[in-house]
């Protein structure tokens, strides 16, 4: 099958090409992201393969359909960037990689916590400059701290297990409770109870209309003063403007994010020789207690293996008319 792979980065090509040896699909790579302005690149292709920051809205899907595209295959678990209603109307199937490495993202969330807390990034830079002072490097013990986990799917569950290993009290909020996690000692509570009790809050829920700006000025007001907030899920779960105000007031004591609501204009690009035209993220980076990473939580060898394997299997299942176990349908 002929596939147009958008937002293709050099580190992905190695994995996709390796696993494609068993499938023999014709993969054509484009560095450009997919949006209404780049749909002509997909002319003559049966499928497009996209990533988290490609914009697959209604106009893009309608243009893809006119170009003959029958399949949208996401190299990601999230699909909030795809208009599923428009895809269904155009009879275009949407597939994804539902869980490529929950441990990778969970471990990155812990890395953000440890770095913000023990300030290892600051110590590293100081020592390289000959400064061996301990001033302003004080952290706190994670042991016996209360960690609130919003969303206990595969990533959230993996994160819970890690934090239990630190000796933390782990409380959680999710529409679906995991009996396995309860058996391990996780306590499910209301959102308000979680917000008011947690020393650290970590987001592991999907982005949808119900969770858009889940954390805002109202929910920040219910948190402990000085709370640490971690987001490795989706940027728009947090109202960034409200988060900045919470940082200024001291309500947020630490903020670690691997995602950002306007990241499509920034992440996965080298802008080191450019002026960043985003005043909000520039303001965030000015805080000493904010740590931003460029959506790298998934970025492990194991995850890249799994993404390539499942992505190529999705192509083959579609081409051969097999059951589409990773299909994303409207309302599901």
Catalytic site residues? 234, 263, 295
Residue 128 CB-density burial (10 A; 0-12 exposed, 13-18 middle, 19+ buried): exposed
**Kind of pairing between the strands at 200-203 and 187-188:** unpaired
Residue 228: name the closest of 143, 148, 124 by CA.
148
**Sign of the CA dihedral 138, 294, 276, 220?**
negative
**Kind of pairing between the strands at 93-95 and 200-203:** unpaired
**Contact of 277 with 311, CB cutoff 8 Å:** no
The two counts, helices (H) then strands (E), for the chain are 12, 12
Distances, alpha carbon 118 to alpha carbons 106, 141, 237, 267, 321, in Å: 18, 9, 26, 26, 52
Task: Identify the helix (H) or strand (E) that includes residue 154.
Answer: helix 154-165
Q: What is the DSSP letter of 224?
A: P
Length of the chain: 332
């Amino acid at each position: 099958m002929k596939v147009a792979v958008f937002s293709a980065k050099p580190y992905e090509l190695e994995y996709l090409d390796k696993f494609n040896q068993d499938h023999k699909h014709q993969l054509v790579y484009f560095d450009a992201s997919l949006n209404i302005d780049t749909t002509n690149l997909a002319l003559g292709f049966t499928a497009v393969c996209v990533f988290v920051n490609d914009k697959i809205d209604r106009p893009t899907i309608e243009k893809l359909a006119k170009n003959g595209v029958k399949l949208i295959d996401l190299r990601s678990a999230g699909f909030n960037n795809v208009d599923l209603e428009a895809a269904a109307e155009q009879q275009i199937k949407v597939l994804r990689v539902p869980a490529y490495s929950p441990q990778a993202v969970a471990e990155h969330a812990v890395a953000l916590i440890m770095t913000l807390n023990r300030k290892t990034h600051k110590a590293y830079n100081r020592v390289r400059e000959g400064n061996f002072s301990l001033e302003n490097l004080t952290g706190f013990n994670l042991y016996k701290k209360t960690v609130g986990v919003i969303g206990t799917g595969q990533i959230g569950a993996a994160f819970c297990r890690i934090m239990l290993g630190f000796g933390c009290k782990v409380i959680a909020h999710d529409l679906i409770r995991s009996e396995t996690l309860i058996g391990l000692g996780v306590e499910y509570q209301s959102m308000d109870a979680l917000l008011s009790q947690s020393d650290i809050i970590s987001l592991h829920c999907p982005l949808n209309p119900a969770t858009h700006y889940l954390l805002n000025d109202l929910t920040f007001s219910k948190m402990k003063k000085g709370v640490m907030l971690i987001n490795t899920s989706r940027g728009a779960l947090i109202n960034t403007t409200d988060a900045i105000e919470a940082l200024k007031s001291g309500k947020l004591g630490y903020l670690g994010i691997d995602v950002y609501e306007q990241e499509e204009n920034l992440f996965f690009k080298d802008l080191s020789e450019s002026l960043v035209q985003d005043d909000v993220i520039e303001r965030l980076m000015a805080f000493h207690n904010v740590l931003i990473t460029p959506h790298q939580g998934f970025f492990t060898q194991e995850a890249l293996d799994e993404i390539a394997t499942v992505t190529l299997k999705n192509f083959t299942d579609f081409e051969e008319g097999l059951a589409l176990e990773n299909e994303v349908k409207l309302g599901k």
